[in-house]
Amino acid sequence: GFSDKQTWTALPVRIIVPAQQSHPSSNEHTAASTATHQQSHTMSLSLQAGGSATRALPSAAGTTHTTSPITTGTSVLAVKYRSGVLLAADTLVSYGSMAKFKNARRLLPINSRTLIGGSGEYSDLQSVSDLLKRNALEDKCTADSLYEEENNEECAKEVWSYLRAVMYNRRSKMNPLWNDIVVAGFKQNDDGTTSDEPFLGVVDKIGTAYEDDVLATGFGGYIALPLMREKYRPDMEEGEARALLEDCLRILFYRDCRALNRVQIAKVTREGKVLVSEPYELDTFWDFKGFVDTKAGLGTDGGW
């Protein structure tokens, strides 16, 4: 119910009197318009305390730029080995804190010698992938010869450099692509053939870019990257590199609440092959003493 102490004050209401259906003379039309204009500004009724007779203004248009991510993927890990580059990521895309989509592929081949992996906003990653594939198709269609199309493909370093410009351009417009993107592959020689030197670089959402032998985005930059740097050797075999990435993904699953144990591994080889595995699940072990013991002696069930 309403309190006895509540009061009612005037809320401005604009009333417009419709014009007459007949066709008055010029003077009559001017007088009627003036009267209508005065009525629309002078008549008011209020229900809101402290109300005024000012006219209501239309609301401003909402922001249409990307100001925060909605559906996001977490870490991407990458490492060079003896004969190529390996990338790894899980297949989870989270909607806020909810594990929403569990079969999202975040390791994407661009051409026969370049592979990307992205964390962050998944729709922006799809947009970047479409852009790069469109460029690759354009290069193929505008090649001087159909028999030299491989030499017209962008190498990994060119894709990385191009993405750096794209990300910085979008950031400068205050409409960033909300991703950290790892680019893996091989450089190319002056004649356009694939070099024996592997390439691994990363670009973030504001256009910062760098190269390294081991890379990690997202939460993996805090947990997995120190472990990868400790175990890395330039002459690692593919099996060693894969085991290292799987161990890091398993630890991320234990420690990162946006990670999943359903993962993919992808590689680029000197032979010009880009291979992406089907998703598979990592074995996990939850009987560690730190996982089972009660916390702080509270007598809980051992959960965090």
Per-residue pLDDT at 187 exceeds 50: yes
Note whether 45 and 13 are within 8 A (CB).
yes
Per-residue pLDDT at 301 exceeds 70: no
Pick the range with the lowest mean pLDDT from 20-24, 85-89, 292-296.
20-24
At 10, the pLDDT band (50, 70, 90 cuts) reads very low
Name, in order, each residue with C-beta under 8 angstroms of 37's C-beta and a sequence gap of 6 or more: none
Pick the range with the lowest mean pLDDT from 34-38, 65-69, 95-99.
34-38
State pTM to two decimals.
0.74
Higher pLDDT residue, 191 or 208?
A: 208
Q: What is the DSSP string of 83-117?
A: TEEEEEEE--EEETTEEEES----EEEEETTEEEE
Note whether 265 and 257 are within 8 A (CB).
no
Q: Give me the percent of the chain exceeding a pLDDT of 90.
A: 55
Which of the residues are catalytic? 63
- C-alpha pair distances (Å), 161 with each of 167, 220, 280: 10, 23, 32
Higher pLDDT residue, 53 or 148?
A: 148
Per-residue pLDDT at 119 exceeds 60: yes
3-class SS string, 15-42: CCCCCCCCCCCHHHHHHHHHHHHHHHHH
Secondary structure class of 147 (helix, strand, coil) = helix
